[in-house]
Amino acid sequence: MKQKRAVHVFYGHVATGLLFMLLGTWAATQYVAFLLGYQPQLGEPLMIIGGYPVYEPWAWMFWSYHFEPYAPHVFEYASRITYASFFAMAGVMVVLSILRAKRQRQAGTYGTARWATEKELDEAGILAEEGIVLAQTRDARYASAVSRHNGEAEVKWVMKKPGAAILRHNGPEHVFCFAPTRSGKGVGLVIPTLLAWKGSCVVYDIKKENWAATAGWRRQFSHCWCFEPTSPHSVRFNPLMEIRQGDNEVRDVQNVADILVDPEGVKDRLDHWEKTGHALLVGAILHVLYAEEDKTLSGVAGFLANPGRSIEETLGMMLSHHHLEGHPHPVVASCAREMLNKSENELSGVLSTAMSFLGLYRDPVIARSTAVSDFRISDLMQGDRPVSLYLVVPPSDIDRTKPLIRLMLNQMGRRLTEKIGFGKKHYRHRLLMMLDEFPSLGRLGFYETELAYMAGYGIKCIMIAQSLNQIEKVYGQNNAILDNSHVRITYGALDERTAKRISDLLGQATEKRQQLNYAGNRLAPWLGHVMQSEQESPRPLLTPGEILQLPGDDALVMIGGLPPYRAKKLMYYQDRRFEGMAWRPAPDTPEEQQKELPEHVAPPAWMDYASERNETRYDTSYIDASGCSCGEGSGPGMSAHDDDESEEHQDLQHDHEQEHVLERMHPEDELYEGIIPEHAEDDEASVPGHQQPADESERRSRRQDRNRTIELSRTPGGGDLPL
């Protein structure tokens, strides 16, 4: 087959050359006839077309034998035309050979990977004027120079050829960037994007550099808010105020508790203590929202660990309080009863576990930052102006404040993707989630699953990591982060695994190699036989070694549906298009931050929950069966007599709950003395289960045994406790 194909190629080239020679001589013949005026002495024409005679292609050669002495210059022109046709024939043969060789080199036996062209990028809209900034075309030129300061050497890049086109992406798809530390992610991607993006944005800013560099520019067209929970001058956000009262309150509280009990996001399954701690937090948060003044996570911690009462008294309050119209909240009451049914040791362990999840909010600065909400999550996409929210955390407090940041991001993601619409846009402004150092937030399981459809709600994510190893460490090897990232950017790698993965992502090409074989005597004046052969072999577009040695100004941009593009990094401080935009004065002072806040923040329903009560929302019939009072509570329109009866009924119910608590406590417990009825001081029989200890030593021994048991129960990892 190959031999037959070679014969066809040979005859095709010969036929093409002969055709050019024929056309050249024919043109020379017609030109001579034209100059000689088509005289009859030239002979009979082959044909006449349009009144002009057409002669044989080679006729001018016979005419030159007879008429050249009379018109030598005419036949000189004919000779030149013929010679030119010979050269044209040779040129065509060479061009055909080159095209054939090039076509053969583009074989795709092992792969067809190649670099994209600027034309393909333009057709895909990557060279548009709007969108997030990816890089710039490869016609940009940089030169590196080493600068030394205080004995430290640093490589500086200086632009030598500006004006290259900027690569932008304005689609709804997400972007994932992985590049080593100090490789230029901030100056090439984060800051230029924040300067160019006109919609709302949420920026995870660890070093507060992005706030200082871009907030001054963004405040011209958006509200700029800096949420820095470790600073007393931060704007404030209370996660509990995003819990909606009504049918959604239980699931919203459960979502909050999910983040609280798994602050790192690494637990696929919770143990017994974490599950029961989760249940206690759900009930406590609901009770605090309905019944307490301090409706914050700090208030939840203070409610559960109030030094003025025991945990049994606290649970009794949850069980007896009229959260709804004359009824306790069924979820709160069920949680309280579940806790009261546990043994004292187990209850102590559950409380210790739950309190360990609330330790962050005992910090007075954190408590101040989460005391109220200066804004609502809906303001990000539904406000009158775009919003630029910077989540600033100093590196020293990343691990400590991680649960709070994770809770905020989780609430944002869930709340902004709840509305279901078919072809309808439920937002005023698009939202960009700029998550720098994305793996430091721990495993955001909600984001991993919701990235697939988050783009349909107007939310675009840019996730930045230092290597793929970080992503695999947090999310596992078979994660969906890369799968849901339509655009991937990398500046190279410093480890072999990431370099190998990048090489695989770029693809594999088919490379043709020519091999010459010589036959004959080595010392002979000429060789007897020379044979040339071609071999196809696979080759990565870039090998792992080449990726490890990638120049410092190169960037690899991989866009779904397009070949990869080898671009040049963008350095905003050397680009005139960003001149004067960065490092403008940011609204840092409390007075400036106050001006940036919206004039009106929608008050949460919990601030005046009494007007929202609806006793028919829950089935509270089972509360009556459990012995908990479900009589008519005080409410709007009740008489003073009804109020007195209600208060008397609540007092009776409180005494009833105290009896339940006392049944589970020993009379010698310290907390027992604080809740024993006054009329029972002289009547030992009024105390259920009361037995007078034999002597003081027995009393002391019993108290020591109880204290040791409580200490053991406060360590969930210390082993199973007797129930």
The Cα diameter of the chain in Å comes to 155
Instruction: Taking residues 446-455, report their average pLDDT.
Output: 85
Q: Annotate 308-332 with b (16+ C-beta within 10 A) or e (fewer).
A: eebbbbbbbbbbbbbbbbbbbbbbb
**Residue 153 covered by a domain:** no
CA-to-CA separations, 99 to 94, 96, 104, 156, 700, in angstroms, rounded = 9, 5, 8, 44, 101
On whether residue 254 sits in a domain, the answer given is: yes
**Quick one: 220 and 257 in the same domain?**
no
> Does residue 331 form part of some domain?
yes
Q: Which residues lie below 8 Å from residue 219, measured CB to CB, with a gap of 6+? A: 388, 586, 587, 596
Q: Are residues 233 and 266 part of one domain?
A: no
Token duo for residue 139: 């016609």
User: Closest Cα to residue 493, out of 506, 510, 481?
Assistant: 506
CATH number at residue 495: 3.40.50.300
Question: Which tens digit of pLDDT belongs to each residue from 92-118?
Answer: 777 877 776 666 555 677 888 999 999
Sorted by sequence, the CB contacts under 8 Å of residue 256 that are 6+ apart come out as 239, 240, 243, 281, 285, 407, 411
Domain that holds residue 347: 238-372+626-723
- Residues ≥6 apart with Cβ < 8 Å to 476: none
Same domain, 386 and 408: yes
In the chain, pLDDT over 90 holds for what percent of residues?
49
- Nearest one of 65, 43, 72, 73 to 55, comparing CA atoms: 43
Same domain, residue pair 645 and 670: yes
List all residues 6 or more positions away from 675 whose beta carbon is below 8 Å from its beta carbon. Answer: 310, 312, 313, 658, 661, 662
Phi and psi at 185, nearest 5°, equal -65, -40
Which pLDDT score, from 0 to 100, does residue 678 have?
38
Residue whose tokens read 């009462």:
309
* 3-state percent breakdown (helix, strand, coil) of the chain, nearest 5: 50, 15, 35
Taking residues 523-527, report their average pLDDT: 57
Whole-number Å distance between alpha carbons of 405 and 398: 9
For residue 227, is it within any domain? yes
339/415 same-domain check: no
pLDDT tens string 8-27:
666 776 777 778 778 888 88
- 638 pLDDT more than 60: no
- Look-up of token digits 């009024």: 686
SS3 52: strand
Helix ranges restricted to H, 631-688: 640-663, 670-675
Distance CA 615, CA 610 (A): 11
- Residue pLDDT, tens place only, 313-340: 999 999 999 988 888 999 999 999 999 9
Q: What is the pLDDT of residue 103?
A: 61
- What pLDDT does residue 9 have? 61
Band of the pLDDT at 685, cuts 50, 70, 90?
A: very low
The pLDDT value given to residue 343: 94
State mean pLDDT over 287-307: 95
Higher pLDDT among residues 333 and 651, named by residue:
333
Residues 421 and 327 in one domain: no
> Is-contact 208 190, C-beta < 8 A?
no
User: Hey, what's the torsion of the CAs at 494, 495, 499, 500, to 10 degrees?
Assistant: 170
CA–CA distance, 46 with 25 (Å, rounded to integer): 15
Point out the domain boundary residue: 70, 105, 140. 105
pLDDT at 18: 77
CA gap 390, 210 in Å, rounded: 8
- pTM of this structure: 0.73
Q: What is the pLDDT of residue 91?
A: 81
What per-residue confidence (pLDDT) applies to 691? 43
Q: What is the mean pLDDT of the chain?
A: 80
* pLDDT surpassing 70 at residue 68: yes
pLDDT reported for residue 639: 36
Higher-confidence position of 606 and 673: 606
Centre a 10 Å sphere on the Cβ of residue 655 and count the other Cβ atoms it contains: 11
> Is a pLDDT exceeding 80 seen at residue 354?
yes
> Is the domain of 211 the same as that of 316?
no
| Model confidence at 510: pLDDT above 90 | no
**Over the stretch 254-268, which tens digit does the pLDDT of each residue have?**
999 999 998 887 777
Q: Is residue 527 part of a domain?
A: no
Q: What is the pLDDT of residue 702?
A: 47
Inside any domain, residue 159: no
252 with 268, same domain? yes
Closest by CA to 556, choosing from 509, 480, 504, is 504
Query: What local confidence, expressed as pLDDT, does residue 637 receive?
Result: 34
* 397 and 544 co-located in one domain: yes
553: left (phi over 0), alpha (psi -120 to 50) or beta: alpha
Look at residue 621 and tell me if it is in a domain. no
- Among the three residues 528, 563, 588, which one is the final residue of a domain in this structure? 588
Same domain, 346 and 387: no
Q: Note the pLDDT tens digit of each residue in 382-424.
A: 999 999 999 999 999 999 999 999 999 999 999 998 876 555 5
- Which residues are within 8 A (CB) of 456 and not within 5 positions of it... i.e. 6 or more apart? 172
Range with lowest mean pLDDT among 172-176, 363-367, 370-374, 514-518: 514-518
Beta bridge partners of 281: none
How many domains would you assign to the chain?
Answer: 3
Strand 554-559 versus strand 387-392 pairing type: unpaired
Among candidate residues 124, 181, 647, 218, the one with its CA nearest the CA of residue 432: 218
Beta bridge partners of 132: 169
Q: What would the DSSP string read from start to end of 306-375?
A: -TTS-HHHHHHHHHH---SSSS--HHHHHHHHHHHTS-HHHHHHHHHHHHHTTGGGGSHHHHHHTSS-SS
Q: What is the pLDDT of residues 573-610, one digit of tens each?
A: 989 999 999 999 999 988 898 888 887 676 666 765 53
What percentage of the chain reaches a pLDDT higher than 70?
A: 77
Cα angle value 518/524/526 (rounded, 5°): 60
Question: 58-67, 265-274, 279-288, 640-649 — which is least confidently predicted?
Answer: 640-649
The tokens for 315 are 């649970």
Residue 707 has pLDDT above 70, yes or no: no
Asked if 346 and 712 count as a contact pair (C-beta separation under 8 A), the reply is: no
Q: Does residue 523 lie within any of the structural domains?
A: no
Residues 533-580: tens digit of each pLDDT:
777 888 999 999 999 999 999 999 999 999 999 999 999 998 999 999
- How confident is the model over 162-182, as a mean pLDDT? 93
3-state SS, one letter per residue, for 241-279: HHCCCCCCHHHHHHHHHHHHHCCCCCCCCCCHHHHHHHH
Place of tokens 């043969």: 93
Per-residue confidence band for 145, with pLDDT thresholds at 50, 70 and 90: confident
Cβ 227 vs Cβ 401: under 8 Å: no
Determine the Cα–Cα distance for residues 688 and 678; give it in Å rounded to an integer.
14
Answer yes or no: do 429 and 548 share one domain.
yes
Rounded to the nearest 10 degrees, the angle between the axes of helix 311-320 and helix 272-291 is 60
In this structure, the answer to whether residues 263 and 318 fall within a common structural domain is yes
User: What pLDDT does 347 receive?
Assistant: 95
Confidence of residue 48 (pLDDT cuts 50, 70, 90): confident
